[in-house]
Structure 1
Amino acid sequence: MSLKNYLILALLTITCLPSQAKDYRTSLFGIHSDGITLNTRSIQYAIDFISQNGGGRLVFNVGRYLTGSIHLKSNVTLHFEEGAVLLGSLNPWDYDKKVWTAIVFAHDQQNIGITGQGVIDGRGRYIARNIVDMIHKGLIKDLFRQDRPEAETRPVLAYIRNCENVNIKGVTMQNSSSWVQIYDQCKNVAIDSITVDSKAYWNNDGIDIVDCDGVTVTNSFIDSDDDGICLKSHDASKVCKNILVRNCTIRSSANGIKFGTASYGGFSNVKIYNVKIFDTYRSAVTLQAVDGGFVENVIVDSLKAYNTGNAIFLRIGERMKGRKGRMENVSISNMYVEVPATKPDAGYEYEGPIEDMPRNISPSDIVGMPDAIITNVTLKNIEIKMPGGGNPMFAKIGLDELDKVPEKPTFYPEFSMFDELPAWGLYIRHAKDIKVSNLTLSCEKKDYRTAIVTDDLHGATFEGIKVTQPGNSKNYIYTHKSTGIVTKK
């Protein structure tokens, strides 16, 4: 089934439900809004009752509703009116764990939702502090790497697993102690007009979509410490497919839109339209196949990124020996990016780490491996403004020594992983069938590096390239061990 048909089916299924649903006020079930009374059992009773009686909405009026873990059931929507806040408990023992720890769980359910103009507040920094205390006392067993609990130990706001027809609309999700919301192996998920404000602790991915089929993320604002919208494939037998991201604004102390850090299965038929990214530490767009899975049929169109550490990072790796990834059929067009000389997320509460330094500002990258090349990538109508000012004293890689750029197939993939690179605008390595047209590259200060460098690139067209830099801008491209390279005005 095509992405269009999936979206129509999801929209029809989800939008038909509320007209048939009955509203139940929280007061009917003795759920208190004083911010003090722990309501976990009464909220769960209400959810079970509504599900068993034909479905409907559990409506939260203005107030503060304290809870531990609750489990959504089929045909039930949690609806938060403006001024209603669902507060996560600060007691670690008030939470269940089913792979992840969460405030709102849903497993193997259908026709569920979280809607309204209210807030889910995880109070992340405080619950994380209390979990750390329990770890120190030996009451919670945890690897406790980097002096913080594992992401699975800290409550996410919502963990939705193997569910169908999921509607998330209008709500604000804030202050998670871990990933904010996870949709894992779900079908027909519509996320619309939500706000994510989660800078309370580490690993605060804004939205994680894992091995799902048919997901839309539209008209939403995401401000998170970690990746803004993150697609993952945790199961080698699954594919994350038929995904649409449209009309969203993202700020992150990691990547704006990223998929493939966990890429055991694959990603197919992903479309990203009209996205704005700002004050983001890493890449505006990162696509990766580093765990043996594949990335195919991806369209990114009309993306603007301001004050962002990198524009584009495409990568094949081999973090699991013997499992090489595959990446093909990627189109990125109508893109505008401004990369600063300084740290883009400086001043935010949890900044991205200072790593791989000192180094010059990295170019956009398309980097495969010698035996796993990236194929059929189109870059069209793209403008990238760089700061320039490259310093050759930072482990300079000259054009006559490109073999010194390390492969690093098993490293955690980020655009800075190669340390120093020989280009300031675009670096392409181990790829074929690349089409670049109407690319504008400019740098503010003179840079000793060449604008575009290719290494082991076979079959490529560069047309309508404009390079502006102090000094010589005529020799904008250098090719190494490459064949079939065509440049046109």
Structure 2
Amino acid sequence: MRCLTLFATFFSTVLFFGCKKSNTKEVAISGINFETIAVEAPFNMPEIKIPDFSNSKQYVITKYGAVADDKNKTTEAIHKAIDLANENKGGTVVIPKGEWLTKAIHLKSNVDLHLEEGAVLLFSESPEDYLPPVYTSWEGVECFNYSPLIYAFQCKNVAITGQGEIKAKMDVWQKWFARPEGHMQNLKRLYYLAAEDAPVEERQMVNDTANLRPHFIQFNRCEGILIDGIKITNSPFWTIHPYLSKDIVIRNVTVFAHGHNNDGVDPEMSQNMLIENCVFDQGDDAIAVKSGRNKDAWRLHTPAKNIVMRNCVVKNGHQLLAVGSELSGGIENVFVDNCTLAQDAKMFHLVFIKTNERRGGYVNNIYVSNINAGNLKNGVLGIETDVLYQWRDLVPTIERKLTPIENVYLENVSADSVQYVSRLLGDKELPIKQIELKHVSAKNVLEQKHIHENVVEFSESDLIFKR
């Protein structure tokens, strides 16, 4: 019980004193200040350093030939502005008021993509506009695929800010949601290529039938990332995907995306991250923490860790917090606090941890507190160790590795109607370990309070339970 006692002590401290924040004032790069944020968490959370472009030189895209209804000229102008800002070691690329049709945007180091109030950056629906293929990933496996709509690779000090909107046209992507036969065959091919350690350059996934939808925003192997203030509407795939990146802040962002696999934020093998004061209206999970799939993640050997989500609103989504199922690199130190769920949100769980016999990795130190929810289709906490979805019959298990799951703590969490409070289905060979619930309540439990298989060291206290 020592961990839960420390957790409770931590909460009383945070609620009383608030969170510490300190800002550096020096200008280290041309026109760029840096903000250092100290985040309170029930684990050792490193300070997060992010760029502040408020004093940097501005590059307005209309000065470089942007024309609102001409995607070629606008794309060329945006990239010209990005190049200039990067060459001058720092700058803000300004998207002015109006609707601007564009192709893929590739950010560079020391650049802020800033959308003024009333600006809409509208991304084309044509897959050809996201070629040539780039080094990216698909559901935890690295490959070359269509470029994310906004993409940054090996960048430092990058941002997307402002009061404007980025929006995806969905004419083609929504047809790809169905995952036709050619798509599934290409997924099988990618699975075997990864299992055989084929070089990523050989995993070319753009062809006539693969239809692997691109992410909306992907920061790939980046450091010092800020997304602040913008609205995001629609997404072909995962909406915000920090991948193998660190020092990340996402704040004051509104996301509306109700397509297939439309998670809000997918931190994957990323570290030192704060998500705060955001609104999520999703077709999938609000936040889904991941760390790669199977052999690829074992090769990269980078856990997702030190991730804090606080003061957010979820209007819809499958889960407030999902962990996995791509977690082969390991996931640790995740803290979700003081988030509000709409009473009519159509959610399955508040917290859902999922893995299977192929993943390996680990899950350790998950903390969730101060959450109120309405009716949930399933329950407050779900943990399953045999989640394979379409992969169960699509491909065999090549290498079997179980996932240790331990130290999951929920405190001051309530819901209205649920099927169960907790459903924990561990593996007989490797039971789930150390799950603690404190002040976790449900007004109406339709099935059974706790459904547990292969769980050790489960405890609850002050549980308000009404049949």
User: Which is richer in strand?
Assistant: 1
Amino acid at match of 2:369: D
Aligned to 1:166: 225
Q: Report the CA distance between 1:316 and its aligned residue.
A: 3.3
Aligned to 2:363: 295
User: Is 1:225 aligned with 2:298?
Assistant: no
Amino acid at match of 1:316: T
Question: What CA deviation, in whole Å up to 9, does each residue of 1:39-82 have, x standing for no partner?
Answer: 22221121111101121110111011111111100000000011
Q: Percentage identity across aligned positions?
A: 28
Distance in 1 (CA, whole Å) between partners of 2:347 and 2:224 is 34
Amino acid at match of 2:163: Q
Q: 1:294 to 1:7 in 2, by over 3 A?
A: closer
Amino acid at match of 2:412: N
Partner SS, residue 63 of structure 2: helix
Aligned to 1:413: none
Distance in 1 (CA, whole Å) between partners of 2:376 and 2:74 is 42
User: Is 1:260 aligned with 2:305?
Assistant: no
Q: Is the 1:104–1:159 contact (alpha carbons within 8 Å) kept by the matching residues of 2?
A: yes
Distance in 2 (CA, whole Å) between partners of 1:194 and 1:276 is 15
* Alignment of structure 1 residues 161-310 onto 2, 5 Å: 161-199=220-258, 201-234=259-292, 235-236=297-298, 237-278=301-342, 279-290=345-356, 291-309=359-377, 310=379
* Alignment of structure 1 residues 403-422 onto 2, 5 Å: none
User: Is 1:45 aligned with 2:80?
Assistant: yes
Q: Is the 2:68–2:100 contact (alpha carbons within 8 Å) kept by the matching residues of 1?
A: yes
Question: What CA deviation, in whole Å up to 9, does each residue of 1:222-272 have, x standing for no partner?
Answer: 011111111111012120000000011113342221012111111111111
TM-score where L is the length of structure 2? 0.74
Q: Is the 2:186–2:210 contact (alpha carbons within 8 Å) kept by the matching residues of 1?
A: no
Q: 1:318 to 1:193 in 2, by over 3 A?
A: closer
Answer with 29-38 or 299-308: which moved more. 29-38
Structure 1 unmatched runs, 5+: 341-360, 389-422, 443-468, 470-489
Q: 1:151 to 1:227 in 2, by over 3 A?
A: farther
Q: Kindly report the root-mean-square deviation, in angstroms, between the aligned alpha carbons of the 2 structures.
A: 2.9
Q: 1:161 to 1:36 in 2, by over 3 A?
A: closer
Question: What CA deviation, in whole Å up to 9, does each residue of 1:89-144 have, x standing for no partner?
Answer: 122211133235311100000000000111010122x13257699x99x9xx7438
Q: Is the 1:277–1:308 contact (alpha carbons within 8 Å) kept by the matching residues of 2?
A: no
Q: Is the 1:92–1:130 contact (alpha carbons within 8 Å) kept by the matching residues of 2?
A: no
Answer with 182-191 or 312-321: which moved more. 312-321
Q: 1:377 to 1:85 in 2, by over 3 A?
A: same
Q: 2:448 aligns with which of 408, 411, 424?
A: 424
Q: 1:385 to 1:260 in 2, by over 3 A?
A: same
Q: 1:228 to 1:428 in 2, by over 3 A?
A: same
Question: What CA deviation, in whole Å up to 9, does each residue of 1:306-355 have, x standing for no partner?
Answer: 12212111233486553011111111100011236xxxxxxxxxxxxxxx
Amino acid at match of 2:254: T
Point out 4+ residue stretches in structure 1 off by more than 6 angstroms: 5-8, 130-133, 149-152
Aligned to 1:104: 150
Aligned to 1:74: 109
Amino acid at match of 1:304: N
Distance in 2 (CA, whole Å) between partners of 1:131 and 1:367 is 33
Q: Is the 2:105–2:151 contact (alpha carbons within 8 Å) kept by the matching residues of 1?
A: yes
Q: Is the 1:386–1:425 contact (alpha carbons within 8 Å) kept by the matching residues of 2?
A: no
Partner SS, residue 114 of structure 1: strand
User: Is 1:14 aligned with 2:50?
Assistant: yes
Question: What CA deviation, in whole Å up to 9, does each residue of 1:282-307 have, x standing for no partner?
Answer: 11111234321111111111111112
Q: Is the 1:289–1:326 contact (alpha carbons within 8 Å) kept by the matching residues of 2?
A: no
Q: Report the CA distance between 1:367 and its aligned residue.
A: 2.1
Alignment coverage as a number of residue pairs: 377
* Alignment of structure 1 residues 123-142 onto 2, 5 Å: 123-124=169-170, 126-128=171-173, 142=183
User: Which is richer in helix?
Assistant: 2
Q: 2:164 aligns with which of 110, 113, 118?
A: 118
Q: Is the 2:183–2:210 contact (alpha carbons within 8 Å) kept by the matching residues of 1?
A: no
Question: What CA deviation, in whole Å up to 9, does each residue of 1:435-489 have, x standing for no partner?
Answer: 20011222xxxxxxxxxxxxxxxxxxxxxxxxxx3xxxxxxxxxxxxxxxxxxxx
Distance in 1 (CA, whole Å) between partners of 2:161 and 2:430 is 44
Q: 1:7 to 1:190 in 2, by over 3 A?
A: farther
Structure 2 unmatched runs, 5+: 1-37, 137-144, 188-207, 389-396
Amino acid at match of 1:285: V
Distance in 1 (CA, whole Å) between partners of 2:105 and 2:271 is 25
TM-score where L is the length of structure 1? 0.71
Partner SS, residue 439 of structure 1: coil
Distance in 2 (CA, whole Å) between partners of 1:49 and 1:87 is 23
Larger Rg: 1
Q: Is the 2:420–2:445 contact (alpha carbons within 8 Å) kept by the matching residues of 1?
A: no
Q: 1:338 aligns with which of 394, 404, 416?
A: 416
Q: 2:184 aligns with which of 119, 135, 143?
A: 143
